[in-house]
Amino acid sequence: MKILLVDNSNTRTKFTLAEGSKELSGTFWIPTREISPESLSEKLAGLDFDAALICSVVPEKRAILEAFLSSLAPIHLLTHESPLGLALDYPKPASIGADRLANAVGVVARHGSPAVVIDFGTAVTFDVISAAPAYCGGVIAPGLGAMTEYLGRRTALLPTFELAEPPAAIGKSTAGAMQSGAVIGYRGLVKEILAEIRRELGEDIHAVATGGDAALIARGVQEIEHVDPDLTLHGLRIVAEEVFL
């Protein structure tokens, strides 16, 4: 059975096909703002699948994905009521972003629990999973791209610049100084949040990173043990196996 997995997040909507193995057979993405019946017809043309699992944190685009895919195959929308294989130790589980639930499922299966998964996307999210495994809660902070874009928009003289490793901490140009603030500053944010999480838990749990900015930031954060770029899709694959197989 071929299952189409869809991670509809705020910047990019990622797709892949699960075909019963632990590998994902090719991933591709569409900018989320471009999701429409037309772009879906074009990008999914010729793709053959028997079911689809959608994880969405963008309601307007979720409605388009649901309508489009349900005309082709049975679909399941990931929620806190999906078979996640973990307890949700959280006052309002319905409020947890579906991508964060998928990350929690993915990290337990691929890296073990207890764990903290950090997703460097539009927002950066930290999610803590206990040994049980149970989802315990987490942290939401502005994402690296959103933060730097905002700085460019709210100032008269600051340019947009490439998010890349700064040549030095002490910038010798406006763009160099901004790269330093973004990349080095962001690593500081991550280290401090991880340290506080570990202090609060009284336990040295391992950290796994995913999301568009994971590789750039994790390179300078020794507390992050693994970067797993497709972790969310793997979480979806595991839930899809429970739902459809």
- Quote the radius of gyration of the chain (alpha carbons, Å): 19
Select the residue interacting with K ion from 114, 121, 133, 166 (CB under 5 A).
121
Least separation in angstroms between CB 75 and ligand ADP: 20
CA 83 to chain CA centroid, Å, is: 19
122 touches ligand ADP by CB under 6 A: yes
Name the one range near ligand PAZ by CB under 6 A: 45-53, 68-76, 117-125, 236-244. Answer: 117-125
Please tell me whether residue 140 binds ligand PAZ under the rule CB under 6 A: yes
The DSSP secondary-structure symbol of 181 reads I
Catalytic residue IDs: 99
| 105-115: b (≥16 Cβ within 10 Å) or e | bbbbbbbebbb
Q: ∠239-66-34 over CA atoms, to 5°?
A: 105
Count of H-run helices and E-run strands, the chain: 8, 11
Is 103 annotated to bind a ligand? Reply is: no
Instruction: Please state the closest distance from residue 96 (CB atom) to ligand PAZ, in A.
Output: 5
Q: Identify residues 130-189 at the interface with ligand ADP (CB under 6 A).
A: 143-145, 163
CB atoms within 10 A of CB 163: 18
Query: How many other C-beta atoms lie within 10 A of the C-beta of residue 177?
Result: 17
According to CB under 6 A, which one of 3, 75, 105, 123 is a site residue for ligand PAZ? 123
Determine if 103 is a binding residue for ligand ADP (CB under 6 A).
no
Task: With H, G, I as helix, E, B as strand and everything else as coil, classify residue 77.
Answer: strand
For ligand PAZ, which is the closer residue by CB, 3 or 118?
A: 118
Q: Which residues are annotated as a binding site?
A: 7-14, 90, 97-100, 119, 122, 174
